[in-house]
Structure 1
Amino acid sequence: MKSKQEVREYVWNAIKPYSTFPPPYGRIPNFVGADKACEKLRELEEYRKAKVVFSAPDSPLKRAREIVLEDGKKLLVVKPKMTGFLLVENGKAGTIKEMLRYGREVDLNELKIHVDIFLQGCVAVDRKGNRIGKGSGFGDREYRILREKGLIDDETLYVVVAHPIQIFDDLSHLMDEHDVKVDVILTPKEIIRTENYFKRFR
């Protein structure tokens, strides 16, 4: 494939039989089995040790946000279209409505926490750790902002949730210098540690 958009179009079409609400096109696809993929979080030693998890508001991450709060951890979330950040310590945050209801708006300059797990959805990802989003650039911008504010560092684990159809062997030729690499891919049946993980942590 010759462009990120070509990969997106391929995935949005291929994942249709496995997709759930909302429809996948133009979005981070939600899929049958996303809940099971999110449950894989609990199998990660890094997650079990984590105190703070950041999650994008993507639909396939709904169960992951619930799990974080069920496990008594702090959840940092970004509001839709990056209009602010919320810290959720109690209540629910599976849906955007719940995030807005139970989350407390925070100023990142004043927030004294360390994000242990950075959690995103994807349109496509490869085994080297290259991730393609829906094209808005929000995922990389969220990562960079948290990094610039000192909430993310070299110890933060970058995790994505994906359906097997979204996973490729190598998308390196499509990547830009600013693209942030993924460490771990969670699918309904697998935990995949990418090449980037082994470069960073081993």
Structure 2
Amino acid sequence: MNVDQAKQAIRERVWALLESGLAAPAGVHGRIPSFFGADRAAERLAELPEWQAAKVVKAVPDKAQQPVRARALREGKLVYMAVPKLAEPKPFSLLAPAELSVPADEAASKNVAAKIGRKVDVDEMKPVDLIVCGSVAVNRRGVRLGKGAGYSDIEVALLQEAGLIGPETTIVTTVHPLQVIEDELPETDHDFSVDVIVTPDFVIRCPDPRRPQGLLWDDLPPEKIARIPVLEARHKNIR
């Protein structure tokens, strides 16, 4: 079994566990799980000093992290969300509380944010204090698995290359307790790990976070580069 197969086997196991344990709605396979208790996880995250100190948050657009995005906007934080599949020339949407035309809870939804968020390129972004990512599974060392598409890794690599994140930037994932597993999860060169795991019931601080230094072009298939405008533009500049 290769690394990709090993990762997928763990994803399938966790998706099945969430459904059988009634910890998420049916239909989580292939997705970042929209787990029950996501709002309580957001409340627990908001108690952490890293959250309270953060003024700029980069968050994934998944439904599980919607309560986190809503809370950030209510508290006056700037929120950057990736455009789905990074499929636009300006790959992030900026949600600025002072500019919102709808309530924060509504603006935090993926579909509304896509409509009202101001699209920005990486070079237009402010330094990011806190990254909130979704996960299918994560272990206590902070090694995580997404749904397998690799977009979160690309987003973090783009921010790293642009100098918008550094060792002082906290990366956190919010998950259901059933998503925290004891396995040694396989890692590849482009994977990042998280500093903090937040569930509705507990917080885990992870040792020795892992941060790739930027985009690893040899790991990116040509067809993926062609589908992501920001990658295609950068790739042309380095050839």
TM-score by length of 2: 0.77
1:145 deviation in Å?
0.8
What's the CA shift string for 1:39-95, capped at 9, x where partnerless?
Answer: 112111011011100001111000000000000010011111112201101233321
Which residue of structure 2 aligns with residue 164 of structure 1?
A: 177
Which residue of structure 1 aligns with residue 8 of structure 2?
A: 5
Equivalent residue letter for 1:20: P
Matched, 1:18 2:46: no
Alignment of 1:165-184 (within 5 A): 165-172=178-185, 174-184=186-196
Matched, 1:45 2:58: no
| Equivalent in 189, 194, 201 of residue 206 of structure 2 | 194
Which residue of structure 1 aligns with residue 109 of structure 2?
A: 95
SS at match of 1:119: strand
For 2:96 and 2:172, locate their aligned partners in 1 and report how far apart those are by CA, in whole Å.
21
For 1:186 and 1:146, locate their aligned partners in 2 and report how far apart those are by CA, in whole Å.
23
Alignment of 1:111-122 (within 5 A): 111=125, 113-122=126-135
1:169 deviation in Å?
2.3
SS at match of 1:57: coil
Equivalent residue letter for 1:138: Y
5+ residue gaps, structure 2: 212-239
Structure having the higher Rg? 2
5+ residue gaps, structure 1: none
User: How many residue pairs were aligned?
Assistant: 196
What's the CA shift string for 1:150-175, capped at 9, x where partnerless?
Answer: 21111110000111111112424x11
Structure 1 stretches of 4+ with a deviation exceeding 6 A read none
Equivalent residue letter for 2:150: G
Matched, 1:78 2:82: yes
Identity %: 40
Equivalent residue letter for 1:75: V
For 1:34 and 1:133, locate their aligned partners in 2 and report how far apart those are by CA, in whole Å.
17
Equivalent residue letter for 1:6: A
SS at match of 2:200: coil
SS at match of 2:119: strand
SS at match of 1:15: helix
For 1:9 and 1:191, locate their aligned partners in 2 and report how far apart those are by CA, in whole Å.
24
For 1:102 and 1:192, locate their aligned partners in 2 and report how far apart those are by CA, in whole Å.
34
TM-score by length of 1: 0.91
For 1:110 and 1:134, locate their aligned partners in 2 and report how far apart those are by CA, in whole Å.
28
1:10 deviation in Å?
0.2
